[in-house]
Amino acid sequence: MYRRDQRSLDWLNFFLADVRDGLGPYLAIYLLAVHKWEPASIGLVMSLAGITALLTQTPAGALIDRTRAKRTVVVIAALLVTGSCLLLPFVTSFTLVALTQTVSAVAGSVFAPAIAAISLGLTGPKAFTRRTGRNETFNHAGNAVSALLAGGLAWLYGPVVVFYLMAAMTVGSIFAVSLVRAEAIDHDVARGFTAAEGDRHQPSGLRVLLSNRPLLTFAICCALFHLANAAMLPLVSQKLSQVNLHLATPLTSACIVAAQLLMVPVAMLVGLKADVWGRKPLLLAGFLILPLRGALYVFSDNPFWLVGVQLLDGIGAGVLGALFPVVVKDLTQGTGRFNVSLGALSTAFGLGAALSPGLAGLVVQSEGYNAAFLTLAGIAAAAFLLVWLGMPETRNYTGDLDDTPHAAMRPNAVG
Class of domain 206-403: mainly alpha
Domain map (residue ranges) of the chain:
1-195, 206-403
Per-residue confidence (pLDDT) for residue 410, from 0 to 100: 38
Per-residue confidence (pLDDT) for residue 246, from 0 to 100: 64
Residue 244 CB burial class (10 angstroms; 0-12, 13-18, ≥19) = exposed
Per-residue confidence (pLDDT) for residue 361, from 0 to 100: 84
Question: What is the CATH code for 1-195?
Answer: 1.20.1250.20
What phi-psi label fits residue 124: left (phi over 0), alpha (psi between -120 and 50 degrees) or beta? Answer: left
Per-residue confidence (pLDDT) for residue 205, from 0 to 100: 54
CA 50 – CA 189 distance, rounded (Å): 31
Query: Residues of the chain whose pLDDT is less than 50?
Result: 1, 197-200, 400-415
pTM recorded for the entire structure: 0.80
CA 29 – CA 86 distance, rounded (Å): 15
Can 1-195 and 206-403 be said to share one CATH topology?
A: yes
For 173-216, the pLDDT digits (tens) are 999 999 999 999 999 898 888 655 444 456 655 566 678 899 99
Could you tell me how far CA 356 lies from the centroid of its own chain? 16
CA 217 – CA 378 distance, rounded (Å): 18
